[in-house]
């Protein structure tokens, strides 16, 4: 198999096929969609291939047969029938401006009318949308395929401006309700976005859509699987550590049998031939980090959050659940599913090393307010751990907490809650990309944090105290025999008890023993 062009940044199906780019065939999912229904919604994080999938649908309904030769759907589609396609996209633009949403929508509707030679006299967006669907149906003699990309971006982009976000939500509610009312003129509907808004608001007009976000049959409808990498991208793999690719980038799950990779990461890896936080760095999650800190969500909690399906799949301007925010934006994924009284409960965690390492670095920068020293401290931490210099580790963290300006504690509520101290500690380790487990359960209890590094095991217990508590944290490590779980590794085990003083705003005790 010879190398092909890497489709970096290409979201046009025609271009990918015409220029002989690598392409992972997703048309089998289209066949299933058409067999099972007509109106669908899919939520996936940014840069997961949603736009490309929509463009594939567009080319299919328009009957561009040559593009599909050799693909699953080619011999299963009636190419004699062509449907008009109305595609709307909110993927770009400044939606923080109150009037921009209506203006850009009107421009898109006008462009569709111009291409079809249709003249509309409707002054409102919903009226114009409804008339256009009817006119396209009448003109072609076939009902319309409606494809809407990034349906929620006008709201998400304005979340820091709640009044604007609410106005966008209400405007889009009126627009999207047209889809249900115009069902007689619509053959197929597919909406994509990052979030699924609460049914009582934006989705109240879209209750005819089937949500396939957590349908196991469609878990790999976007993204690449391990099999895709080995089969489609085989020419790109030599020279790269396959296990490292999997550890750094794989792990996204929407309840299917296979976990998936973000395509953007994989394509940039094959292009640059070195590992990097490619997906994460495309958008700094400033709003997310601020929200987590304002809600006093400890970074340790992000390794193992629990959520119901209702909470996980709802989102609204006035009520953004932490779990939904993290899951829908791609910073956490489903790691396990449990049955609780007949209802599914999902355990969430980081999808891979890229997200855990990068998000904790962002959290650390926000928590410590000293980005200048952050890299130097992280480098020193790595070297001290490598040398098992525990006295040096205590000195490093003590000096670090001492260096945080007093004003940071007095001006920020986050510095007053207990999880702040452990979060700073944990995020330093997670930001280094080390193998970490938090809230690690055993028959004896739940350990705060375990670090496996350099053929050593480090078991941490954190406590926040009014004053040094004479070894309470170390006593817990010993009495609950947390080390037993790791003895089979045959590696040295170090018990590390860290106590933080709220009064001193620093480490009150740092005890280390061999287990």
Ordered by start, the domain boundaries in the chain are: 25-218, 367-514
Q: What are the two backbone dihedrals, phi and then psi, of residue 462, each rounded to the nearest 5 degrees? A: -110, 140
Question: Residue length, the chain?
Answer: 515
Residue 389 sits at φ, ψ, to 5 deg, of -90, 85
What pLDDT, on a 0 to 100 scale, did the predictor assign at position 237? 98
Pairing between strand 85-89 and 144-149? parallel
216-232 per-residue burial string, b: 16 or more CB within 10 A, e: under 16? eebbbbbbbbeebbeeb
Q: What is the pLDDT of residues 272-319, one digit of tens each?
A: 999 999 999 998 778 888 888 888 888 888 888 889 877 787 777 777
CA separation for the pair 57, 87 (Å, rounded): 10
Cα torsion 423, 429, 434, 437: sign: negative
367-514: CATH topology is Trna Endonuclease; Chain: A, domain 1 (3.40.1350)
Cα separation, 474 vs 477, in Å, equals 5
Angle between helices 50-61 and 27-36 (to 10 degrees): 70
3-state secondary structure of 493: strand
d(CA 27, CA 17) in angstroms, rounded, equals 13
pLDDT of residue 31: 96
DSSP letters of 329-349? TTSSEEEEEEEETTEEEEEEE
140 or 317: whose pLDDT is higher?
140
What CATH architecture is 25-218?
A: 3-Layer(aba) Sandwich (3.40)
Q: How far is CA 314 from CA 1, 304, 311, 339, 373, in A?
A: 44, 20, 6, 20, 39
Q: Where are the alpha helices (H) located in 436-487, listed in sequence order?
A: 472-479
Q: Positive or negative CA dihedral for 301, 306, 310, 313?
A: positive
Residue 295 pLDDT: 84
Q: What's the number of CA atoms in the CB half-sphere (13 Å) around residue 79?
A: 11
| pLDDT per residue as tens digits for the range 47-91 | 999 999 999 999 999 999 999 999 999 999 999 999 999 999 999
Residue 505: which pLDDT band, with cuts at 50, 70 and 90? confident
Per the structure block, which two tokens stand in for 83?
């449907």
Top mean pLDDT of 125-134, 165-174, 439-448, 465-474 is at 125-134
Residue in 299, 361, 287 with CA at minimum distance from that of residue 329: 287
Helix, strand, coil percentages, rounded to 5, for the chain: 45, 20, 35
What Å distances lie between residue 515 and 422, 443, 482, CA to CA?
22, 17, 9
Strands 210-211 and 39-43, bridge-based pairing: parallel
Q: Of 207, 150, 203, whose CA–CA distance to 183 is shortest? A: 207
Binned at pLDDT 50, 70 and 90, residue 153 comes out as: very high
Mean pLDDT of 398-414: 64
Whether the Cβ atoms of residue 202 and residue 170 lie closer than 8 Å to each other: no
- State how far the Cα of 456 lies from the Cα of 141, in Å rounded to an integer: 70
């Amino acid at each position: 198999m010879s190398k092909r062009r890497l489709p970096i940044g290409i979201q046009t199906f025609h271009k990918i096929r015409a220029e002989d780019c690598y392409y992972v065939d997703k048309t089998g999912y289209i066949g299933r969609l058409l067999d099972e229904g007509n109106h669908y919604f899919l939520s996936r994080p940014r840069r997961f291939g949603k736009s490309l999938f929509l463009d594939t649908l567009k080319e299919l309904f328009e009957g561009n047969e040559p593009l599909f030769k050799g693909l699953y759907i080619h011999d299963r589609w009636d190419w004699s029938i062509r449907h008009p396609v109305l595609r709307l996209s909110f993927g770009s633009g400044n939606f923080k401006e109150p009037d921009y949403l209506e203006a850009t929508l009107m421009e898109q509707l006008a462009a569709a009318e111009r291409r079809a030679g249709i003249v509309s006299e409707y002054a409102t967006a919903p009226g114009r949308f409804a008339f256009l669907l009817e006119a396209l149906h009448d003109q072609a003699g076939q009902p319309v395929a409606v494809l809407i990309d990034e349906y929620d971006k006008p709201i998400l982009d304005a979340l820091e401006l709640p009044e604007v976000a609410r106005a966008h939500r209400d405007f889009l509610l009126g627009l999207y309700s047209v889809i249900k009312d115009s069902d007689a003129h619509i053959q197929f509907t597919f909406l994509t976005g990052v979030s699924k808004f609460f049914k009582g608001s934006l989705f109240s007009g879209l209750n005819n859509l089937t949500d396939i976000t957590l349908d196991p049959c469609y878990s790999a409808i976007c993204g690449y699987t391990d099999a895709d990498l080995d089969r489609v991208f085989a020419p790109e793999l030599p020279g790269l550590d396959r296990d490292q690719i999997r550890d750094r980038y794989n792990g996204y799950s929407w309840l299917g049998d296979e976990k998936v990779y973000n395509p953007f990461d994989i394509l940039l890896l094959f292009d640059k031939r070195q590992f990097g936080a490619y997906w994460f760095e495309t958008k700094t999650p400033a709003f997310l980090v601020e929200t987590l800190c304002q809600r006093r969500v400890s970074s340790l909690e992000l390794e193992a959050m629990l959520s119901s399906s209702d909470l996980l799949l709802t989102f609204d301007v006035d009520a953004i659940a932490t779990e939904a925010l993290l899951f829908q934006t791609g910073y956490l994924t489903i790691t396990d599913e449990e049955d609780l009284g007949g209802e599914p409960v999902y355990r969430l965690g980081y999808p891979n090393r890229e997200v855990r390492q990068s998000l904790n670095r962002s959290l650390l920068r926000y928590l410590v307010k000293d980005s200048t020293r952050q890299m130097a401290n992280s480098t020193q931490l790595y070297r001290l751990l490598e040398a098992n210099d525990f006295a040096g580790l205590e000195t490093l963290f003590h000096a670090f907490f001492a260096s945080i300006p007093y004003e940071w504690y007095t001006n920020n509520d986050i510095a007053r809650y207990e999880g702040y101290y452990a979060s700073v500690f944990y995020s330093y380790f997670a930001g280094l990309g080390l193998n970490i487990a938090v809230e690690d359960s055993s028959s004896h209890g739940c350990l705060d944090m375990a670090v496996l590094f350099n053929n050593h095991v480090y078991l941490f217990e954190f406590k926040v105290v009014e004053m040094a508590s004479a070894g309470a944290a170390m006593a817990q490590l010993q009495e609950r025999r947390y080390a037993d779980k790791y003895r089979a590794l045959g590696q040295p085990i170090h018990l590390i008890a860290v106590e933080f003083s709220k009064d001193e705003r620093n480490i009150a005790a740092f005890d280390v023993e061999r287990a």
